[in-house]
Chain A
Amino acid sequence: GAVVSQHPSWVICKSGTSVKIECRSLDFQATTMFWYRQFPKQSLMLMATSNEGSKATYEQGVEKDKFLINHASLTLSTLTVTSAHPEDSSFYICSARDTGTYNEQFFGPGTRLTVL
């Protein structure tokens, strides 16, 4: 099946620093990737849709200047949390859409971000 990886799996940073999270589709090309955020014991909340070669589309209420998304190739999308603060601590999950599998989304293992 389609495999999506994320790196790093966890990261701890100081308040005010920026953190970059990578999402890769390993065995398929993904023109569209999605970024989600999940707080403990809550559902996944879609943050933005990342399209290869174009600007990301952000969901209502998500600050595009704080959560920078770049989708420079068909297998890589990055999410940069800029000037992170403790309230940004969360589980960030990406998914990639595989057009060869009925447009199903395959999820990465997630990145746990802790901001001190």
Chain B
Amino acid sequence: GQSLEQPSEVTAVEGAIVQINCTYQTSGFYGLSWYQQHDGGAPTFLSYNALDGLEETGRFSSFLSRSDSYGYLLLQELQMKDSASYFCAVRGPYGGATNKLIFGTGTLLAVQP
């Protein structure tokens, strides 16, 4: 089966750095994506890693280690507006279809003043 595990909740203060981990076990793998979702809203794309290493996009960075089936999202200079749920998602060929996303369990980030 497919599984992606994340910590359920993380709390941090404004200005700090936080890392959200994701370990996955899937039958197919094209890459690891990260999405942010505010309560009641649509998931918005943050970052994508197809190869091992670090990808940096502004305050957000994402890392992937395919040999360890592990990735993380790093958020720097935290702001109150970063309080949201964060999901990792594995993109892969499943059941004959390409580019399907299997989502992780999600991490609720609470940023405190």
Interface size on A, residues (CB 8 A): 24
* Bound-complex Cα distance A49 to B95 (A): 11
Q: Which residue of B42, B48, B100 is within 8 Å of A110 (Cβ)?
A: B42
Task: Give the interface residue-count category, chain B.
Answer: 20 to 34
CB–CB A109/B41 < 8 A = yes
Does chain A have a CB within 8 A of B101? yes
Judge whether B100 and A93 touch: CB under 8 Å. Answer: no
Q: Decide if B99 touches A107 in the complex (CB within 8 Å).
A: no
| B95 surroundings in chain A (CB, below 8 A) | 57
A97–B97 Cα distance when bound, in Å, is: 13
Q: Which residues of B contact A93 (CB under 8 A)?
A: 42-43
Could you give, for residues 30-73 of chain A, a 1 whenever the CB lies within 8 Å of some chain B CB and a 0 otherwise?
00101000000111111001000000010000000000000000
